[in-house]
Structure 1
Amino acid sequence: MKTMIATVGGVGFLRPAPGTWGSAVGVGLALGLHWLGGFPLLVIATVAAFFVGWWATAGYTAKTGDHDPGEVVIDEVAGQFIALWVVSFGAWHAGLPALALYPGWIAGFVLFRIFDITKPSIIGKADRRGDALGVMLDDIWAGVFAAICTGVLAWISHGVLGL
């Protein structure tokens, strides 16, 4: 059970770039959750993914002896959910179909991957913890940074440029 959760049903075993595969699945899941219950359901799912992911990651890493194996991608899913909060909230609040804001979904994905790969600032610090919580937290912070940047890009696009 812990392996299935930590690897998101085996997605983490896809190569190359398992983190990107996990993030892509996270976007698909976020869209599905948004369609089912809007922004509130995505927030609930994010909290659940974090805590269940932390539990599963702790169990999986204890079994493998590797503190951050590449196949663990539940952290990418949780972080990707956060990166997409601003887009989901915007569509939900405005009563728009989720894909009406498709540039935001793409930006959230790309920005999350950039922050997750480069690990600037507190993201890298969380990653260096060397434990299951650190595995989860670096992606949570990457999601927060990506969400902020996605929101700024939306503000520039809609507020400043009037697109």
Structure 2
Amino acid sequence: MPPLPRLLASVLLTAMLAGCGGLSPMYAGGGNGTVARALSGVEVPSIQGQSGWLVRNALVDRLGAGGGKDGARYRLDVRLDERLQGLGILSDDTVTRERRTLRARFQLVDLASGDVVLDATAGADAGLDVVSSEYAVIAAEQTALENLSREVADQIVTRVAVKLRKPQ
């Protein structure tokens, strides 16, 4: 790269980085930071079904809440919609591919006022090959559900953390 364009590129990059002065890490302060303390004050009630159990456990792990009501300031209500759909159907009606979908609608409720602070959705999906071994297909479906549950929980925690980071 010739010297003038290189100099111009470095000046532009420096100017762009200077504009990021208002940014700060979300989890600044580690476990004692504002966001971590706020997340630990979120209670997660039980969620129906196997996918609900998986999502709730992932949420409790990520929130650091322990799932109890001790010191809870918020309640996170989650409703799940789970689907397993056959795709890739052959002429003899044999399914060769499946799509597993997990969607969540969640509400963050302030326990003191009863107000809904956040009302949002999260979702993920995965494709699965259907093979001749029924055991392998069942194992793949279960693994996909576990992965989707963690992914949905991550999305939920991120949205909640962003909301709790902002002053109310």
Which category describes the TM-score, using the shorter chain as reference length? 0.3 to 0.5
Question: Going by fraction, where is strand more abundant, 1 or 2?
Answer: 2
Q: Give the structure, 1 or 2, with the largest relative contact order (CA under 8 Å, sep 6 or more).
A: 1
Structure 1 length-normalised TM: 0.36
Pair member with larger Rg = 2
